[in-house]
Amino acid sequence: MPVVDKHNVGTPTWMDLMTTDLEKARAFYGALFGWKFLIGPKETGYYTMCQLDGRNVAGMGQRPADAPFPPAWSLYFEVDDIDAYASRVRKHGGHVGMGPMDVMEEGRLAFCSDPTGAHFGMWQSKKHQGAKLVGEPGSMAWHEVNTRDAARARDFYAAVFGLEPKKMEGMEYWTLHKGPQTVGGVFQMDSKWPSGVPAHWMNYFAVTDTDAAVKKVTEMGGKVHVPPMDTPYGRMATVTDPAGAAFTVIKLSPLAQNM
């Protein structure tokens, strides 16, 4: 679904980056994805809209110097009553760390963590109705929570957002569904993962050529953590930008495009 007017409740609606240097981030992602940028005024902290063909696809903000978290991409779920959803997060063992709060006239925001420690946001759209392009090169394409307690995370997101989990054969992985829409995945981290890696949402961006994207990442000062590899859903690689924010690039296969 490339062009999106409004996202369904309980599905990913937006991603943004909190980074240490907005100017460097714009240079990196502009070169990687061909983004153009709409930079907000000082009172927004110069929050930046990242655009393709004039459509918002992601955001960038300045990470506070005293923030207790590293530079990172965050995922937001669309909700229609953020106060009610914040109560659901707490009811099902999650934590609401910030909000719910108004973001000018754009919408209402809350930032949360699930019972296994993975952070995510919720967004109640007003003027800003999330990403207007999805699944196209340079836009968000997939989201999965990597956790050491997949069953607990699976049940949490199913209960909070009304999602149906479906287990994939041969692996500890569940896809989450909202009606006919495949929303994201839940992956069981095993002993092969370094012990210091916390539960987290991994976010994917679509690209036209994974190998070329990885080359551009390294040329622009980023790092490759999982080299390009082929999967039934596309050729993918996991990287970090120069500030250390992780994401995955993927050339989507026909199977992924039809999910």
What DSSP state is assigned to residue 133?
A: B
- Pairing of the two strands 36-39 and 107-113: unpaired
What CA–CA distances, in Å, run from 167 to 174, 190, 231?
Answer: 4, 17, 17
Query: What's the pLDDT band for 259 if we cut at 50, 70, 90?
Result: low
Per-residue pLDDT tens digits for 224-235: 999 999 999 999
pLDDT at 128 over 80: yes
pLDDT score at 254? 82
Q: Is the dihedral of CA 157, 192, 233, 217 positive or negative?
A: positive
- Helix pair 22-33, 210-219: axis angle to 10 deg: 150
pTM: 0.95
pLDDT score at 170? 85
